[in-house]
A and B are shown apart, each in its own frame.
Chain A
Amino acid sequence: MPLELVDYQDAELDHPDKDYLWTLNFGPQHPATHTTLRLILTLDGETVIKAVPHIGYLHSGFEKLGEYLDYNQYVTIVDRMNYLSPLANEISWHHAVEKLLGIELTPRGKYLRTMLAELMRLQDHLLNVGTCALDLGGFTAFLYFFYQRERIYELVEYASGQRFHTSYTRVGGFLFDVNDDWLQKVREFANDFPRVHDEVNRMLTRNKIFIDRVKGVGVLTKEEAINRGATGPVARASGLLRDLRKEEPYLAYPELDFKVVAATEGDCYARYLVRMGEMLESIKIIKQCLDKFPGGPINVNSTEKAVLPAKPAVYRSIEGLIQHFEVIMPNRQFDGPKEELYAATESPNGELGYYIVSDGGFKAYRARTRPPSFLHFSLFPHIVKGAQLSDVVAILGSINIIAAELDR
């Protein structure tokens, strides 16, 4: 029989007759936290009475750096926020910058960004579902999915020259274009992936051991989800229908046909199901992008200020070199708008927003990030209350906390 859960006040916890409560330090270096975060758990037997998160172990002042680096340079930093899906951060950052500077991407650029954003969504969900199963003792699903991640890494490496921190996007486009061979490889991946997805689906979705560990655990109600600012898969698993791809369509999303996956239970199992469902939708989007992939230039016209010219033009023509010089040199550079703007995209983890304040220079005056992990971790102490100690890991895994994004 589970004990009746009492909502203790802080002062009561210190009372002498509560000395059977014990304190457990979870993290900052614990394999199940995946990254460096720390929880101080107050336990009654194995039931969590209270959890106090301590964060900041990876704080490296990204937002301060954003005030010193220009719009193209800062992309190397936003990369390192959610390192499970680096390109999603880059796309989100440049989405905000382009909105600020009033630059409209070319159709090819839009489709490529959409496709990469969806590959990143796959990559993030693959690791999240994999490690969620791993933490609960299912090693096979993790290995199956990690191999698929590896294949996405290869695609990303082929396109950008880097596996991990790609820094691939630029204001108004990309560093390089992709070729037909790359598109062919993406198509092969998209055709093959549902097979692996199905294997893991059969392995986990109706697995009694897995369901016992995740069903009814860490329930987040719809009201709490709104009030505590949940977004992305976490919110959609609680029945909160919001997807920025549908609501404030950006890139090529308005031209594509896809569904928003949601559930109503709000527990770890619902979050798992939503992520599994979203993976198939991502594959659907990627296939549509491949079918519709337009030709033409990948970058916007480089006579636009703030846009870097293509590398061959820089090396082989004086005009290109001058343009490059004008954009890069700190004493030349363009005058930006005197505006401030909040723009968000649907990153794999939730709403990833950037609030850029520009004072008329070529750098942001303030580059604020709205990281989904930060807000999901702030609701964690509330959904973990009353759970068992072993459920802490399951809940932590299901809300996908990335410490680099959490602490910035």
Chain B
Amino acid sequence: MTVEEVYQYLCELLGEDRILGLEAGARDPFVIVAPESIAVVADVLKNDSRLSFDHLCDLCGVDWRAVPERKVACQEPRVEVVYQLYSFTHRHRLTVKAKLPRWRDETEKTLPEIPTVSGVWAIADWHEREAYDLVGIRFIGHPDLRRILCAEDWVGHPLRKDYEFPLEYHGIRGR
């Protein structure tokens, strides 16, 4: 199935309020999904016999924010979770995206939240831990959401664009 067909099929199954749109003009066309229903969508994507995306190739977070040294200013600050899917049964690919606010409130203290898909694809377990650690996305319902690459008492999420490298860590000089 092509991405357009998958999109049409998903819309029929789940409705427009869960499947928000299709970016058909991009080099890699992708489907945009409402973040709060990602777990439901993932379940359909994996278990529906016409789709059966049984392999999650990659899951990552991308932080979008206006960065001064960049030529092009980012219009809409957000955090994206990107899922790359592949089906061993039908040999087709799909990219799914969920857009989240950068922070849950104005004070920029609480991380954005999205339901976990680790119950659907077991592989998502470590991917989500990494996205939590580096990009700062909280996956609700994840069995063991701890930092994975950074130390457990590390402050901040390094792949956030406004991350500042600590001056000092346990007596070790940074910067």
Contacts and interface: CB of A to CB of B under 8 A. Distances in A.
Contacts of B82: 340, 355
Q: Name B's interface SS.
A: loop
Contact of A227 (B72, B74, B84, B121): B121
Contact of A55 (B26, B62, B95, B148): B148
A341 B28 contact: yes
Contacts of A247: 91
A242 B151 CA distance: 35
Contact of B149 (A59, A359, A370, A378): A59
B60 A355 contact: yes
Nearest to B121: A227
Given A229-B56, A361-B71, A368-B60, A337 B27 contact: yes
A351 interface: yes
A64 B161 CA distance: 9
A374 interface: yes
Interface in B129-175: 130, 134, 147-151, 158-159
**A339, A359, A366, most chain B CB atoms within 10 A:** A366
B121 A229 contact: yes
A228 interface: yes
B30 to A, nearest CB: 8
Contact of A340 (B26, B130, B148): B26
Q: Name A's interface SS.
A: mixed
Contacts of A227: 54, 121-123
Interface string B1-38: 00000000000000000000000001110000000000
A49 to B, nearest CB: 17
Nearest to A338: B72
A249 interface: no
For chain A, the bracket of interface size reads: 35 or more
A296 B58 CA distance: 38
Contacts of A59: 149-150
Contacts of A337: 27
A221 to B, nearest CB: 13
Contact of A342 (B84, B125, B148): B84
Contact of A359 (B72, B122, B123, B125): B72
B109 interface: no
A374 B150 CA distance: 15
Nearest to B95: A342
A344 interface: yes
Interface string A337-376: 1111110100000010101010111000110101000110
Interface in A366-397: 366, 368, 370, 374-375, 378-379
A353 B122 CA distance: 19
Nearest to A223: B54
A237 B28 CA distance: 31
B111 to A, nearest CB: 18
B1 to A, nearest CB: 16
Contacts of A229: 55-57, 121-123
A128 to B, nearest CB: 22
Interface of B: 26-28, 54-58, 60, 62-63, 70-72, 74, 82, 84, 88, 91, 95, 121-123, 125-126, 130, 134, 147-151, 158-159
Closest 8 CB pairs of A and B: A229-B123, A378-B126, A360-B72, A59-B149, A370-B58, A56-B149, A368-B60, A339-B27
19 contacts: A56-B148, A56-B149, A59-B150, A100-B27, A227-B121, A227-B122, A228-B123, A247-B91, A335-B71, A340-B26, A340-B62, A342-B84, A353-B84, A355-B84, A359-B74, A361-B72, A366-B62, A370-B84, A375-B123
Interface of A: 55-56, 59, 61, 63-64, 100, 226-229, 240, 242, 247, 335, 337-342, 344, 351, 353, 355, 357, 359-361, 365-366, 368, 370, 374-375, 378-379, 407-408
